Amino acid sequence: MKHILILLFCCLGFYSFSQTGKNQSLAVIATCSADPGFIKFDWPADNFTGTYNIYKRLSRDDQWGNPIVSLAGTDSSYTDSNIVVGEAYEYRFYKSQGSNLVSLGYLYAGIQKQADESEGHIILLIDTSYAAALDIEIDRLESDLRAEAWSVSRKYVSRSESPEDIKDELFRSYIDRSEDIKSIFIIGHVPVPYSGDFSSFSGTPPPDGHVEGSGNHTGAWPSDSYYGDFFGNYTDNTVNRTTGNQSRHHNVPNDGKFDQTNIPGDVMVEIGRVDFFDMPAFAKSDTQLLKDYFVRNHAYRTGSVQSVDRAVIDDNFRGLNLSSTAWHNLSAFFPIDSIHHDQGADYFGLQKTQPYLWSYGCGAGSYTSCNGIGRTSDFVNNSLQNVFTMLAGSYFGDWDSRNNLMRAATANSALVCFWGGIPKWYIHHMALGKNIGYGAKISQNNVSEYFNGQFNLSHNKIHIALIGDPSLKLHYFEGLDVFSATSERNKVKLNWNKPVDKVEGYMVYRISKDDNRPFKIHSGILDTNYFEDINNNESGPHEYMVRAVQFDTTASGSYENLSPGIFTLVNHNYIAGNKVYKESLFDLRVYPNPSKGFVNLQFTTFENQEISINLKDINGRNIGHENFKSQQGINQRRIDLSGLSKGIYMLELREGSGNMTYRKISLQ
């Protein structure tokens, strides 16, 4: 790893070259209050003479802009009261000495952050070699995904197909679904794209630093990001590099390996792969290893197997910044005292005897080993207790290799593994319910949105890959097991059991016959174990789903965590003309109220329809009007009040020429 050290010192822009990954990551913990709404941030106090700048944004579409506050180096906390319960905000904590960056922290924080109504569409891209053998496992995976509000499709591809042809088919699906595809889960030895010209002569060293004369890990590397980059320009006519020790890295014109070393476009969809091809160190076949993986996957995501909210960091490169990937992400999930590190934090020693939700290990490496951590043979011979893991060191980040160490980790117990630190990864959004593929895509596309680590120019390169299921989330719990529906007098009556574990309530969905997706048929969270759907005006079979809700808490705040859904079918008899009393179709929520310049509206409609909004003053005069077409399910709208005087106003929401709902707004 000598070459990595030299290159790192040439690139590193932090205040002190001697800082470790821990010191370069500012560990910030968020504690929240819903009433009154605020988030308090705390970080370790020291005698620092510089400055803390804190930045905030509501969406990743927003720029970081100017800091919301600048604090003295002796400060160790900040409270943000400009908070809306149900929203989530991203924060950047920037510790600096003059113009020199000392450390960084990122949090995706919020109070009872609302769950996403739909996860989006996921394609299961499956190696045809396993089509028959994994039929039961794939069916079960598809059912699990559907119960989490994913829509799912399958594509089977042969190992003899070219990556170009496979990508063309994926792109057609992407266009046909109007950019609705969120994730691609590659299962098995689907053809591996290779791309790049990593070399001392090209000006871009291999990510692990082993240029010609120092390990010769040069040429093209495996690049699953290719399958998700639909608009980048990939060519195969310029690179001529044969210095790599293995022929699979050789890259010459027109050989089917691409020229690009940087990802040429944006990765548009999340990519993850589980592939146990060419792992002879394990006595089990690649097919059986896949079967075992999906048994563990099902057990975890349905809540039948739980882990413990803690992590281990085994850092054997304390002079380098690799482990900063572990520190800034894991401290967003867990309190610092739940992150085991320093003396005795042995990756294998701890996880053989105790469960850890996350783990990290780094050290000098080979394709099958990581110094101070272990070897592929250790994953073969020991049973660990982890779910997510990160590993970093030379060679094994090139995952399409025999008995590869990272793939061995997922053949043992982990459901996800990635090369954490080469470059830095950003998965902190998982703390409030995002899936890990979301962070993988951010990490692949990151140039300067987040600090990239400046490690061997490895950021935004074609090698960055997620080994594992991209749809997985941080926490799961068991769902309901009894759900029934009956049709009576133009209504569908739904009933379900109450779970043993305490929950906040329930969410009920009807499955759309247009696209087979669930849409919520009420707003908010139900506190009863029954519901009447009075707005189903179509006779015939209908499918419903119910999910329990918990408020889970992490070091970044709290969020609505939903159980897997349970489904039921009912043959509904709707008779036109039989009037059923309709409650308001809207269940209108207005926030923040009182307002200081804007309000957000959230309401439910049960079909696409015309909606009008009227804003009136205290004397009933119209002072604002807007028409738009709602979408079936929950809708959101933002109303600008910044030009109005302080006082009381009335908001009227009307469905076509029918039902009206009113809310009083206090503008302060």
Q: What percent of the chain has pLDDT over 70?
A: 94
Q: Indicate the pairing of strand 219-222 with strand 339-340.
A: unpaired
Q: Which two tokens stand for residue 382?
A: 């020991």
Q: Over the stretch 472-529, which tens digit does the pLDDT of each residue have?
A: 999 999 999 999 999 998 999 999 998 877 899 999 999 988 788 899 999 889 999 9
Q: Which two tokens stand for residue 606?
A: 């049960």
Residue 45: exposure state from Cβ atoms within 10 A (0-12, 13-18, ≥19): exposed
What is the reported pLDDT for 227?
98
Cβ count within 10 A of residue 342: 8
Q: Which residues of 63-90 are buried (b: 16+ CB within 10 A; e: fewer)?
A: eeeebeeebebeeeebebeebebbbbbb
In angstroms, rounded to a whole number, what is the distance separating the alpha carbons of residues 2 and 211?
11
What is the reported pLDDT for 558?
97
What is the reported pLDDT for 136?
97
Q: What share of the chain is helix, strand, coil (3-state, %, to 5)?
A: 15, 35, 50
Is a pLDDT exceeding 90 seen at residue 19? no
Whether 264 contacts 233, CB under 8 Å: yes
> What does DSSP assign to residue 338?
G
> What does DSSP assign to residue 255?
S
Mean pLDDT of 408-420: 98
**Of the candidates 614, 644, 608, the residue with the CA atom closest to the CA atom of residue 629:** 608
Positions of CATH 2.60.40.10 in the chain: 2-114+307-468, 483-572
**Of the candidates 377, 437, 384, 381, the residue with the CA atom closest to the CA atom of residue 405:** 377
Q: Which two tokens stand for residue 370?
A: 């990581």
Q: Which of 13-22, 208-217, 241-250, 399-408 has the lowest mean pLDDT?
A: 13-22
Is a pLDDT exceeding 70 seen at residue 81? yes
**Of the candidates 224, 223, 220, 213, the residue with the CA atom closest to the CA atom of residue 240:** 220
Cβ count within 10 A of residue 322: 29
Is a pLDDT exceeding 70 seen at residue 586? no
Q: Over the stretch 178-231, which tens digit does the pLDDT of each residue have?
A: 658 999 999 999 999 999 999 999 999 999 999 999 999 999 999 999 999 999
In angstroms, rounded to a whole number, what is the distance separating the alpha carbons of residues 160 and 172?
20
In angstroms, rounded to a whole number, what is the distance separating the alpha carbons of residues 106 and 55?
10
In angstroms, rounded to a whole number, what is the distance separating the alpha carbons of residues 172 and 180?
12
Q: Over the stretch 463-480, which tens digit does the pLDDT of each residue have?
A: 999 999 999 999 999 999
Helix segments in 507-609, DSSP class H: none
Instruction: Given CATH 2.60.40.10, say whether it is the number of domain 2-114+307-468.
Output: yes
pLDDT class of 12 with cuts at 50, 70, 90: very low
What is the reported pLDDT for 31?
95
Higher pLDDT, 34 or 661: 34
Whether 550 contacts 477, CB under 8 Å: yes
* pTM for the model: 0.86
pLDDT class of 384 with cuts at 50, 70, 90: very high
CATH topology of domain 483-572: Immunoglobulin-like (2.60.40)
Is a pLDDT exceeding 80 seen at residue 569? yes
Which residues make Cβ contacts (< 8 Å) with residue 555, sequence separation at least 6?
A: 29, 30, 331, 332, 333, 334, 335, 431
CA 209 to chain centre: 29
Mean pLDDT of 138-154: 96
- Residue pointed to by tokens 């476009």: 265
In angstroms, rounded to a whole number, what is the distance separating the alpha carbons of residues 607 and 484?
24
What is the reported pLDDT for 397?
98
Longest dimension (CA), the chain: 84
Q: What is the CATH number of domain 589-667?
A: 2.60.40.1930
* CA R_g for the chain: 26
Q: Over the stretch 257-282, which tens digit does the pLDDT of each residue have?
A: 999 999 999 999 999 999 999 999 99
CA distances from 408 to 184, 286, 416 (A): 22, 11, 11
Is a pLDDT exceeding 50 seen at residue 542? yes
Q: Which of 15-19, 66-70, 92-96 has the lowest mean pLDDT?
A: 15-19
Q: φ, ψ for residue 18 (rounded to 5)?
A: -85, -5
Positions of CATH 2.60.40.1930 in the chain: 589-667
What is the reported pLDDT for 603?
79
Q: Over the stretch 389-399, which tens digit does the pLDDT of each residue have?
A: 999 999 999 99
Q: Indicate the pairing of strand 29-34 with strand 37-42.
A: antiparallel
End-to-end CA distance of the chain: 61
Q: Which two tokens stand for residue 166?
A: 């496979």
What is the reported pLDDT for 441?
98
The overall average pLDDT reported for the chain is 91
Is a pLDDT exceeding 60 seen at residue 544? yes
**Of the candidates 472, 512, 475, 521, the residue with the CA atom closest to the CA atom of residue 494:** 521
**Of the candidates 109, 143, 122, the residue with the CA atom closest to the CA atom of residue 30:** 109
Q: Indicate the pairing of strand 150-157 with strand 100-113.
A: unpaired
Q: What is the DSSP string of 463-508?
A: T--EEE-TT--S------S-EEEEEETTEEEEEEPPPSS--SEEEE
Is a pLDDT exceeding 70 seen at residue 18? no
Which residues make Cβ contacts (< 8 Å) with residue 495, sequence separation at least 6?
A: 483, 484, 485, 529, 530
pLDDT class of 117 with cuts at 50, 70, 90: confident
Strands (DSSP E) contained in 556-656 are 557-562, 566-572, 589-591, 598-605, 610-616, 622-629, 633-640, 647-655
Q: Indicate the pairing of strand 483-488 with strand 518-520.
A: unpaired
Is a pLDDT exceeding 50 seen at residue 14? no
Mean pLDDT of 131-135: 96
What is the reported pLDDT for 619?
65
Q: φ, ψ for residue 432 (rounded to 5)?
A: -120, 35
What is the reported pLDDT for 579?
52
In angstroms, rounded to a whole number, what is the distance separating the alpha carbons of residues 592 and 50?
36
Is a pLDDT exceeding 70 seen at residue 234? yes
Mean pLDDT of 617-629: 80
What is the reported pLDDT for 622?
82
Whether 563 contacts 551, CB under 8 Å: no
Whether 651 contacts 615, CB under 8 Å: yes
What is the reported pLDDT for 668?
75
Residue 222: exposure state from Cβ atoms within 10 A (0-12, 13-18, ≥19): buried
Q: What percent of the chain has pLDDT over 90?
A: 75
In angstroms, rounded to a whole number, what is the distance separating the alpha carbons of residues 585 and 661?
9
What is the reported pLDDT for 428?
98
Is a pLDDT exceeding 60 seen at residue 443? yes
Q: Please give the torsion angle defined by the CA atoms of residues 602, 603, 608 and 609, in that order, rounded to the nearest 10 degrees.
A: -110
What is the reported pLDDT for 367?
98
**Of the candidates 65, 72, 114, the residue with the CA atom closest to the CA atom of residue 91:** 65
